Amino acid sequence: MADRMSDHASDRAMLAIALRLCSAAAFAAMGATIKLAEAHGAHLAETMFFRQTFALVPVTAFIAAGPGLASIRTDRIGAHALRTAMGLVSMCFVLGTIMLLPLAESTTLQFTLPIWATILGAVVLREPVGWHRWAAVALGFTGVLIITQPGAGMASWGIATGLIGALLSASVSILLRQIGKTEAAATTVFWFSALSVPPTAIGFALTATAHPPLTWALLVMVGVIGGIAQLLMTAALKLAPVSLVVPMDYTGLVWATLFGYLAFGVLPSWATWAGAPFVIASGLYIVWREQLRARTRTDGAIATS
């Protein structure tokens, strides 16, 4: 019986890792598709509208085939509306960065999210942050300085939007921790996409221009791939701990490098190769320390009960 349970847990862990790896590849593919759509004339507002609207297709299909459409009922529509507002502002910067910078560089800047989450946790939530995680934050920003080469290197607008996008994404992650106490992940994903449609539709109506069929097809692909990537990421978290699956996200840099070379003939600069390990090591260490703290709290609660 014990061996069977161990094998089952191992199978779940392997499936979770596979799903997260696929999620990282899908998000990188979405980034490449965004850049291709932009190269064919698509604007940021158009991209955001298609990203959210057509993500509803795989998300709704997944919910209908799984927990059922009744599961999207919520008593916290206000919280979902706030998450949508924050998420759209964050998405504006993240997608803008993808358009401004090469794929590998924009992906690496997004890896600063755990660093910002640590800072926000200490400043906003007053969470205790020991010297271990502050050292990881310093290490991560050392990597950012190497990558961005202040005064040279990448376009300053791209650097700014990338770091702001990661900061805003970290803010959203803190809100999601609160929403996740009562709402299923699939429900949150659905409402984010659904509530995003009206405001992004306004932006689309104000900026839409005529495009050839290929551009429209690429925009539809952005939404569908983005929705699938979100579902894969969410499914992985249901099967295994954060500390096991989140490190798989960093394989996205490999995919971003590959897609950037195949689609645009661009390889990361030496600065990106030199700085990315600092950023990745910082994020991995922060995730590991957070999981260690969570286990320590759990063990302490058990010991005193």
Question: What pLDDT band is residue 93 in, cutting at 50, 70 and 90?
Answer: very high
pLDDT of residue 3: 53
The 10s digit of each residue's pLDDT in 36-82 is 999 999 999 999 999 999 999 999 999 998 888 888 999 899 999 99
- Per-residue pLDDT, 151: 58
pLDDT over threshold 50, residue 254: yes
Q: With CA atoms as reference, report the closest residue to 232 among 16, 51, 30.
A: 16
Residue 91 corresponds to which amino acid?
M
The packing angle between helices 113-123 and 131-148, to 10°, is 140
pLDDT at 16 exceeding the cut of 60: yes
pLDDT reported for residue 303:
47
Integer-rounded Cα radius of gyration of the chain? 20
Q: What is the pTM of this model?
A: 0.85
% of the chain at pLDDT higher than 70:
89
Among 118-132, 195-209, 234-248, 285-299, top mean pLDDT goes to 195-209
CA distances (Å), origin 69, targets 55, 193, 198, 226, 236: 16, 15, 21, 20, 21
For 217-242, the pLDDT digits (tens) are: 999 999 999 999 988 888 887 777 76
Segment 167-174 mean pLDDT: 87
Query: Residues 61, 62, 65, 69: is their CA dihedral positive or negative?
Result: negative
Query: Residues 114-165: pLDDT tens digits?
Result: 888 888 888 877 777 778 888 888 888 888 888 777 655 556 788 889 999 9
- Buried b / exposed e across 212-248, counting CB within 10 Å, b at 16+? eeebbebbbbbbbbbbbbbbbbbbbbebbeebbbbbb
> Mean pLDDT throughout 89-117?
90
Max Cα distance, the chain (Å): 66
DSSP element (H, E) containing 230 = helix 213-239
Token readout for 257 is 């490098």
